[in-house]
């Protein structure tokens, strides 16, 4: 019978300074002591996989209330020097504002740009790349983009999110036309003062 161990790892993504970042913790224990790694850990016996992902995220990073989706399950041999470990990977999206207070109680968690990762423990680099690819693909046929923004946002902010995820700059007029045409956004009557000309705030619609 199977004596495998099951863990969950979470690729938590957000936009900081117009770039896509991932939250990494610093490992204290062996193996890969002092290496950066994804938050995660063993699934408890009476705990659903999603619940484990949420719990680990909260315990190790203090972050809560995120959009969470299963990514892929990594089960190759020798992923973990301690033995046979099967990892169900998740990715999570959160607006950066929401992490500012939360992140404080997790001293060893820090954000890194996804395109400038440090050396990671285990096969975590592969997992981060897989998550990045997934969200890049889902950006234009789902609404995941909105999960990286607060409830109200300007269209320029939404464009920044898309550009950060895709890693390329987009034409402003074409972008706005496409978003408006999809009907997934609706204008509010509020305006954000930006230091220059204020911008209209929108919200995700339905």
Q: Which positions lie near DNA, rule CB under 7 A?
A: 154-156, 171-174, 176-178, 181, 191, 193-200
Binding partner of residue 5 among DNA, its own copies, none, CB under 5 to 8 Å per kind?
A: its own copies
Binding partner of residue 181 among its own copies, DNA, none, CB under 5 to 8 Å per kind?
A: DNA
Q: Please state the closest distance from residue 24 (CB atom) to DNA, in A.
A: 29
Instruction: Give the HSE-up count for residue 116: Cα atoms under 13 Å, Cβ half-sphere.
Output: 6
Binding partner of residue 155 among its own copies, DNA, none, CB under 5 to 8 Å per kind?
A: DNA
Q: Please state the closest distance from residue 2 (CB atom) to its own copies, in A.
A: 5
Cα–Cα distance for residue pair 65/190, rounded to 1 Å: 25
Binding partner of residue 139 among its own copies, DNA, none, CB under 5 to 8 Å per kind?
A: none
> Can residue 86 be called a binding residue for its own copies (CB under 8 A)?
yes
Tell which one of 2, 101, 116, 174 touches its own copies (CB under 8 A).
2
Q: Please state the closest distance from residue 78 (CB atom) to its own copies, in A.
A: 10
Dump the DSSP string for the chain.
----EEEEEEEEEEEETTEEEEEEEE--SSSSTT-EE-SEEEPPTT--HHHHHHHHHHHHH---S-EEEEEEEE--TTSBTTB-EEEEEEEEE--HHHHHHHGGG-TTEEEEETTS---BSTTHHHHHHHHHHHHHHHTTTSSGGGGGS-SEEEHHHHHHHHHHHHTS---HHHHHHHHHHHT-EEEEEEEE--SSS-EEEEEE--
Q: Please state the closest distance from residue 202 (CB atom) to its own copies, in A.
A: 28
Residue among 25, 115, 116 at smallest CA distance from 62: 25
Tell which one of 17, 34, 42, 105 touches its own copies (CB under 8 A).
42
> Can residue 47 be called a binding residue for its own copies (CB under 8 A)?
yes
Contact string (CB under 8 A) for its own copies, positions 114-153, x = contact: ----------------------------------------
Q: Please state the closest distance from residue 191 (CB atom) to its own copies, in A.
A: 39
């Amino acid at each position: 019978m199977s004596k495998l161990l099951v863990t969950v790892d979470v690729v938590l993504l957000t936009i900081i300074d117009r770039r896509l970042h991932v939250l990494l913790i610093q490992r204290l224990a062996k193996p890969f002591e002092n290496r950066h790694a994804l938050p995660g850990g063993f699934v408890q016996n009476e705990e659903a996989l999603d619940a484990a992902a949420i719990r680990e995220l909260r315990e190790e990073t203090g972050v809560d209330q995120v959009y969470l989706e299963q990514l892929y399950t990594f089960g190759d041999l020798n992923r973990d020097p301690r033995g046979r470990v099967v990892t169900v990977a998740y990715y999570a999206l959160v607006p950066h504002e929401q992490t500012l207070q939360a992140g404080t109680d997790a001293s060893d968690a820090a954000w890194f740009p996804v395109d400038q990762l440090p050396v990671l423990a285990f096969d975590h680099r592969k997992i981060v790349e897989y998550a990045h690819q997934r969200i890049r693909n889902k950006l234009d046929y789902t609404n995941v983009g909105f999960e990286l923004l607060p409830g109200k946002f300007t269209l320029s902010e939404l464009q920044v999110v898309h550009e950060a995820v895709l890693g390329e700059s987009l034409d402003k007029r074409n972008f706005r036309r496409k978003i408006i045409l999809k009907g997934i956004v609706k204008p509010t009557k509020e305006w954000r003062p930006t230091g220059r000309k204020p911008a209209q705030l929108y919200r995700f619609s339905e």
